Structure 1
Amino acid sequence: MIEVVKPGFYSTIQDLGRIAYHDYGVPYSGAMDEQSAKIANALLGNNENNAVLEITMTGPTLKFIKTTAICITGADLSPKLNGNAVSLNKRYTIKPDDILSFGKLNYGFRAYLGVCGGFQTEKVMGSRSMYKNVTEQFITQKGELLPIKDLNTNAATSNASIKIDKTHFNTKSLPVYKGPEFDNLSKTQQKQLLNKTFTVSKDNNRMAYQLEDAIENNLKPIITSLVQPGTVQLPPSGKLIVLMSDGQTAGGYPRVLQLSDSARYSLAQKKTGDTFTFNMSE
C-alpha cells in the first residue's frame, strides 16, 4: 500500500485507457502523456498498460507501507525521497516508511509515478483509469491507501535509467493532419490556422485545451459526429478547442485538424500561457 498524505493539485490513477467503449459514449481516458507513462513502466519491467499515478502541476506527498520499486517520468516537479532529491527516468528501490514528495515545477506540466507491477486499484470496463461517473473516485484523496503489488526480486536489484530528449516538453511546433472539415475553410482561414502562434488558455484540463487566440470563423456547425483525443474543433467564437484524453466522444463543431499522438502528448505537458504552432507536413 501507499498512503496519500497530501493528494497534490490533481493526481489520478491512469493506464492506457478504455479502448473498447468509445462507441457507447465512454471517453478513452488514460495517461495524458502516454509516452512518459510507458517509459516509467518500461524502466520498471512492467507491462506498458500497467497503471501509473498521473501528477499535475503540484505533486502529492506519499508514504510507502511496503517495499517496492518506483520510477518518476514526465514533468520535473523536483521529486524528493525522504527529503533528498531524486532523478527522473531512473528506477529506485523503496522501503517501508519512505516518503516521496514534490516541489517546484521546473518544466512540463504532468509527471508520472510508476511502481513495480503497477497500481492495483479497481478496474472498470477493462481499465483502472479514473474518470468521474465511471470509477468510484476520479482523483486521489488525502488518507487514501493505494494498493500495489509485492516487489519483484529482479526489480529490486536493477538501477535502470534513461536520458530523455527535452524537445518533448519544450517544442513550439505540434504535428497535425487535416481534419474532416479542414477543406471547408477558406485559403485565408487555412493560412491563419497553420501560421498563427496559439496560446494555451486557463481553460485547460484532461477533457480539453481551449486556446486563447481566435481565428476567423464563418463555418456552420456540423451534424454531431465522432471525435477523439487530439481532434481540434472550431466553435463559433473562433477559439480552438483541442480534445484530450477525457474528451467527449461526439461533437457538433467543425473538426479542422487532428493532432498526431506525439503532438497530443507534448500538448499535455503545456500549461496556461505556453505557446505553439500547428505544423502540417505536405
Structure 2
Amino acid sequence: MIKVLKAGFYTTVQDMGRIGFASFGVPVSGVMDSYSANIANSILDNSIDSALLEITFGGTKIQFLADTFIAISGADFSPVLNQQKIKHNTRIKINSGDVLSFGKLNFGVRSYLAVKGGIQTPKVLNSRSQYQSITKNFRLQKGDILKIVPCVDDTKSTNATVKLNLPYFTSTDVECFEGPEFYLLSLQQKKQLLKTMFRVSSENSRMGYHLKETIRNNFPSILTSGVVPGTVQLTPSGKLIVLMRDCQVTGGYPRILQLTEKAINKMAQKTLNAQFKFRLINA
C-alpha cells in the first residue's frame, strides 16, 4: 500500500487511457507525457499500460507501507527518499515505512512515479486513469491509500538507469501535421502560423493549452466534428487551443493542425509563458 501524506498541486493516477469510448463522450485521458511515463515503467519491467502517479508541479509526499521498487521520470521536482536525494530514471529499492517527497522544480511540469507491478486502483471503462465524473475521485487527496502489488524478493540489480534527455524538455520545436481545415488558411496566415513563436497562456490544463498569440481570421463556423488529443483549434477571436489528453471528443472550431504523439508529450512538459514554434512535417 501507499499512503498519501500530501497530495501536492495536482497528482493523479494515470495509465494509457480509455480507448474506444469516444462515441459515449468519454475522453481518452491517460498520461499527459507518455514518453516519460513509459521510461519509468520500462525501468521496472512493468507493462507500458501499468498505472502510475502523474505529479504536476511537485509538492507531493507519500509513504510506502510495503516493500517495492520505484522509478521516477519526467519533470525534476528534487525527489528525496527519507530526506536523501535520489536519481531520476533509476530503479530504486523501497522498504516499508519509507517516505518519498517532491520539492523544488528544476525543469518540466509533470513527473511520473512508477511502482513495481503498477498501482492497483479500480478500473473504470478499462482504465485506472482518474477523470472527473468518470472515476470516484479526479485527483489524489491527503490520506488516500493506494493498493500496489506485493513485491517478491527481486535479485536484479537496483541500479538500472536510463540517461536523461534534457533537450526533450527544452526544445521549442513542436512537430505537427496539417489539420482537416488547414486549407482554410491563406498563404499569409500559414506563414504566420509557422513562423510565430507562441507562448502558453495561464489557461492551460489537462484539457487544453490556450496560446497567447493570435491569428486573425473570419472563418465560418464548421459542423461539430471529432477532435483528439493534439488537435489545434483556431477560434473566431484568433486564439489557438492545443487540445490535450482530457479534451472533449467533438468541437466546432476549425482544426488547423494535428500534433504528433511526440509533440503532445513535449507540450505536456511546458507551462505558463513557455515558448515554442509549430513545425510542419510531411505526412
5 Å matches for 1:71-110? 71-110=71-110
**Alignment of 1:135 onto 2:146:** no
Unaligned 5+ segments in structure 1 are none
Shift of 1:166: 1.2
- 2:19, 2:164 → 1: CA distance? 28
Shift of 1:58: 2.1
Aligned to 2:67: 67
The alignment partner of 2:248 has SS state of: coil
The alignment partner of 2:265 has SS state of: helix
Aligned to 1:37: 37
Aligned to 2:241: 241
The alignment partner of 1:169 has SS state of: helix
5 Å matches for 1:1-282? 1-154=1-154, 157-282=157-282
- 2:254, 2:221 → 1: CA distance? 6
Shift of 1:156: 6.2
Q: Percent identity?
A: 49
Name the CA shift for 1:140/1:156 in 2 (closer, same or farther; >3 Å): farther
Shift of 1:218: 1.3
Shift of 1:158: 3.3
Matched letter for residue 98 of structure 1? D
Matched letter for residue 251 of structure 2? G
Contact 1:175 1:259 in 2 (8 A): yes
What whole-Å deviation, never above 9, does each CA across 1:233-264 have from its counterpart, x for those lacking one?
Answer: 00111110000000000000000000000000
Shift of 1:167: 1.7
Name the CA shift for 1:155/1:143 in 2 (closer, same or farther; >3 Å): farther
Matched letter for residue 27 of structure 2? P
Relative to the length of structure 2, the TM-score reads: 0.98
Shift of 1:219: 0.9
- 1:126, 1:177 → 2: CA distance? 30
Shift of 1:209: 0.5
The alignment partner of 2:48 has SS state of: coil
- 1:170, 1:263 → 2: CA distance? 12
- 1:82, 1:178 → 2: CA distance? 49
CA RMSD of the aligned region, Å?
1.0
Unaligned 5+ segments in structure 2 are none
* Count of residue correspondences: 282
Shift of 1:153: 2.9
Matched letter for residue 187 of structure 2? K
Matched letter for residue 52 of structure 1? L
Contact 1:116 1:155 in 2 (8 A): no
- 2:72, 2:155 → 1: CA distance? 15
